[in-house]
Structure 1
Amino acid sequence: MSASASTDTYRVAVVTLGCGRNEVDSEQLAGLFHREGNAVVDDPLDADVVLVNTCTFIAPAKQESIDTVLEACQLKDEGSARAVLVVGCMAQRYPHELAEAIPEADAIVGFDGYATLPSVVGDVLAGRQIDRVVGVGDSHPGARPVRRDLPLMVAPVGASPTAHPPSAPVTAPVTTPERARSEPSVPSTAADLDELALGLRALELPPEAPRTALAPGTAQDLLDRVPDSGPRFPVRLPQTGGVPRPWAYLKIASGCDRICTFCAIPSFRGRFRSRPLDEVLAEAAWLVEGGARELVLVSENTTSWGKDLPGGRRLQATLLRELSAIDDLERLRLMYLQPAELTLPLLETMAELPKVASYFDLSLQHVSGPVVQAMARSGDPERFGALIERIRGLDPQAVFRSNFILGFPGETEADVAALETFLAEHVLDWVGLFPFSVEDGTPSADFDAQVPAEVAEHRLARVGELQERLADEASRRFVGRELDVIVQERPEDGDEEIAATLARSYREAPDTDGEIEVVDDQGRAADLAVGARARVQVIDTVGVDLVARLVEARA
């Protein structure tokens, strides 16, 4: 037993808000406490210690995080909780503000404090005096504030920044939407198009200093990896009770080098850092051995993986081939794909490998050229549309997900109309719509021509109505088709919450998209175990969800 553990064990619950990257962080934290001999429970009502893993991406996420922390603190009076700790992005970004605003929380722990959490909890439970703000520092080498006029570079494709540093950064004119509306055409060459999917350009911070791996024994290293004597992948507890779920998130990188003017994530997540190939493969094999049949690859920018490793982004094809070779793995899914970073070798490999889902989660954010440029991104309806059609040419079964921001500063009715036309022409399967949220310290917070909140909400509702019709159209295209599915849930005796056998195909990502209800020839819930594979035929739709008849159960 380590020095941080006490002879008394306790029950820990981790409440997770936000994205799949946070889910992985929570499983790592659960793994730390499990390794110390403590029980990890699902229900905070049953816990002695509650950790709230917060999100701070947009204003509603911040409010949800605050509300959840306050609810957890109430459990100290109404439940069995003896300690509540705040972790995650909000703890890293606003540690002192949280400590002052929510005195009921016992500690606010930033990323650098994660590895010491069992020790911190032990001190809290023993009544020892501690600093309420712990481990708030640079989460990765190069963490920096988000500000205006950051130096930018055109991201090199397939090359290591360490080996091929840019001769000089380019300063991007992103201080106002008005300046952005005079965007020059993006140059491209035939050689570029052999590598890049469509000649889009990713603007990033230049590598001011050589990138090096974190030294063994640092706080982040202790969290990310088990000791050198064993496989190097995170200490992680993906299953905390009940029937194991048949999928798992696999985080392949951390941080972000992009300078999107609406996003504060790089200010607290730090510079982009790829996990080495051997570590990713070791963790993937371990997850599959534990019952995962689908691995969902996540990071802030999945298409950046490899750029800071020897071999560069060309390693992405190798990563997918090596993962596909793992026995008992049925499906790989890539999330958070940046259009400006997509390369033809990656797209061709995704289309070629049967285990890689024909699922393209494109981070578009908007399609109108002036708005996209004001976001310090690259693209317009024509180039984004050509990219989608190019992917469909490589993979006719492709489905698409994307997110869009309505009400970005300077957005006009013409910009919204361009988005509506784009959606109608290309019919994406899954679309998330969000109103613009002013984020502290980001360039867009100071842009002129801020769109009134009520106008943004009206535009969001208008586009939402259109997209709802288009999503129904997209789902109806699957009627009559046969799909391979993995069962996610099944009815259990006495469980009224689960009345159907639910599965997912390549079309549906976990946590974000719809589901498939699988029935037998009599229309009853198909008798299939969680994790089972099956062939089904789609017979109906319910909104974006599918109803399918069991054709064949597979071992």
Structure 2
Amino acid sequence: MGDKVFILSLGCAKNQVDSEKLAGMMTSQGFEIVDSLDAADIVLVNTCAFIEPAVKESIDALLGLEELKASGKAKKIGVLGCLLNRYGDDLKKEFPTVDIWAKAEEWDKVLAYLGKDKPNTSCVRGFIPETVKWSRYIKIAEGCNNRCSYCTIPEIRGPLRSRPIKEIVEEAQFLASQGAKELCLVGQDLAAYGMEIDGQSHLTELLDILDKDLPSDLWIRLLYLHPAHIDGKMLDFISSCRKVLRYLNIPIQHVDDEILSSMNRKVTEKDLRKIFSYARSIDPDFTLRTTIIIGFPGEDEGKFEKVLRFLEDMEIDRVGAFLYSPEDGTEAATLGRQVPERIKQERYDTLMELQAFLSLRRQERFLNRTLKVLVEENHNYDGYALGRSYREAPEVDGVIVIKNANNLVPGSFVNAKVVSVSEHDMEAEVIFDEG
């Protein structure tokens, strides 16, 4: 075996996919991917630079790398991904002891720095410490054409570039052969898949093939769909699929028309209500998750109240909320009528208090009902296991605590009856087949 490599993957699931692909390339070239910093000869950090807190986390990680190298615990250190995409040569000047530099998707440069050639064949996905073999992410596209006024992604990752359907299907089949029971499709905007080709979304075409070609006992979960590219036909198709879960993560960011226009979101409150209401009409148990930006320039109390009313009227299951931060190079950073931090925080607290109430109300729908649960952890000594149903996406949502664990195997499905709920989590008991 060659040098031992530790890969720290920061930021979103899309970065994790990149890190796993790099791990696969490095393994094919004789490197050993390890789970511990202490065991590594080479330490790489795949950075995030989407918003200010992510930049800070990445910079802190870089400072940690320099300390590792100075102490002799690491022979070489490398900085990869979005932070370099965003700050380029300025970043290199600040960190002169870094040995390896590579922008997002320039993974062959990592190998070149280490004296290796790029593999001749397409490498399979590897494993990093964050990898869970039964729940994997597949990135179906890179970049974005939406140009939201607050977002740095087009600058960092470039325009929309959709992967070929055949390539995605082959990767999905490979991950299933490795033991994946849940495949989470990710991209900046899944609903825009293929639109750079002919202006039409090809998401349903992709889903149709995945739904037919993948093993029967497998979940497909959709994450990050821009509402401007969702219509009734797409929702109808999703609901008709056997493997695609009735769970949608549709980041609306706001509800007020003036704010939405300023954000360049290309939708109105009426559009948003139509989408969410239609999903609810298809199936009242459809799990709907969204994201809200709080304190965008120009947001006053009246505009904020519209967001609260929308969440309540549409019975949103899950919400991720973020305080607006002006990002260098974005149009929104130049806008007037900035909202004070104190007001942002107060509004955040108000929204999350309401959402806790709404989430609990949605959770209560499932009391005494049976859900199919993907087991993820077994705590036999304490007599319980942890898992998720179709209602909980990995990492961002709650969990289901299974009280009568009985040696349940992580990565397996069980049917469990919900016996109690809280705002985010549930307790359930496995229903064992008689005899």
Q: Which moved more, 1:408-417 or 1:301-310?
A: 301-310
Alpha carbons 1:288, 1:328 under 8 Å: kept = no
**1:508 corresponds to which of 392, 413, 416:** 392
Query: What residue number does 1:319 align with?
Result: 206
Aligned to 2:395, what secondary structure does the other structure show? coil
Partner deviation per Cα, 1:179-227 (whole Å, 9 max, x = no partner): xxxxxxxxxxxxxxxxxxxxxxxxxxxxxxxxxxxxxxxx9xx79xx73
TM-score normalised according to structure 1 size: 0.74
Q: Distance in 1 between matches of 2:406 and 2:360?
A: 25
Query: Which residue identity is paired with 2:91?
Result: L
- Alpha-carbon distance, 1:330 to partner: 1.3
Q: Distance in 2 between matches of 1:479 and 1:322?
A: 35
For 1:416-495, what aligned pairs fall within 5 Å after superposition? Answer: 416-491=304-379
Query: What residue number does 1:518 align with?
Result: 402
Query: Which residue identity is paired with 1:27?
Result: E
**1:353 corresponds to which of 241, 262, 271:** 241
For 1:356-395, what aligned pairs fall within 5 Å after superposition? Answer: 356-395=244-283
Alpha carbons 2:76, 2:98 under 8 Å: kept = yes
- Alpha-carbon distance, 1:527 to partner: 2.0
Q: Which runs of 5+ in 2 are unaligned?
A: none
Q: Distance in 2 between matches of 1:311 and 1:106?
A: 42
In 2 relative to 1, CA 310–257 (structure 1 residues): closer, same or farther, beyond 3 Å?
closer
Q: Distance in 2 between matches of 1:28 and 1:449?
A: 43
Aligned to 1:450, what secondary structure does the other structure show? coil
Alpha carbons 1:51, 1:84 under 8 Å: kept = yes
Query: What residue number does 1:171 align with?
Result: none
TM-score normalised according to structure 2 size: 0.93
Q: Within the alignment, does 1:273 sit opposite 2:157 as a pair?
A: no
Alpha carbons 2:20, 2:128 under 8 Å: kept = no
Query: Which residue identity is paired with 2:361?
Result: E
- Alpha-carbon distance, 1:243 to partner: 9.5
In 2 relative to 1, CA 27–112 (structure 1 residues): closer, same or farther, beyond 3 Å?
closer
Query: Which residue identity is paired with 2:11?
Result: G
Q: Within the alignment, does 1:41 sit opposite 2:34 as a pair?
A: yes
- Alpha-carbon distance, 1:458 to partner: 2.1
**1:14 corresponds to which of 4, 7, 24:** 7
**2:416 corresponds to which of 536, 541, 544:** 536
- Alpha-carbon distance, 1:308 to partner: 3.4
In 2 relative to 1, CA 426–310 (structure 1 residues): closer, same or farther, beyond 3 Å?
closer
Q: Within the alignment, does 1:63 sit opposite 2:56 as a pair?
A: yes
Q: Which runs of 5+ in 1 are unaligned?
A: 1-7, 124-218
Structure number with greater CO (CA < 8 Å, separation at least 6) is: 1
- Alpha-carbon distance, 1:427 to partner: 2.3
Query: What residue number does 2:95 align with?
Result: 102
Partner deviation per Cα, 1:426-447 (whole Å, 9 max, x = no partner): 2211111111111111111111
Partner deviation per Cα, 1:348-372 (whole Å, 9 max, x = no partner): 1110112111001102011111111
**Rg bigger for which structure?**
1
- Alpha-carbon distance, 1:309 to partner: 4.3
Q: Distance in 2 between matches of 1:421 and 1:28?
A: 43
- Alpha-carbon distance, 1:468 to partner: 2.0
Alpha carbons 2:380, 2:407 under 8 Å: kept = no
In 2 relative to 1, CA 108–454 (structure 1 residues): closer, same or farther, beyond 3 Å?
farther
Aligned to 2:367, what secondary structure does the other structure show? coil
Q: Taking every aligned residue pair, what percent have the same amino acid on both sides? A: 34
In 2 relative to 1, CA 288–90 (structure 1 residues): closer, same or farther, beyond 3 Å?
same
- Alpha-carbon distance, 1:462 to partner: 2.0
In 2 relative to 1, CA 13–395 (structure 1 residues): closer, same or farther, beyond 3 Å?
same
- Alpha-carbon distance, 1:240 to partner: 4.5
Query: What residue number does 1:116 align with?
Result: 109
Q: Distance in 2 between matches of 1:414 and 1:508?
A: 32
- Alpha-carbon distance, 1:517 to partner: 1.0
Q: How many residues were matched structurally?
A: 433
- Alpha-carbon distance, 1:250 to partner: 0.7
In 2 relative to 1, CA 86–249 (structure 1 residues): closer, same or farther, beyond 3 Å?
same
Query: Which residue identity is paired with 1:40?
Result: I
- Alpha-carbon distance, 1:347 to partner: 1.1
**2:138 corresponds to which of 227, 236, 250:** 250
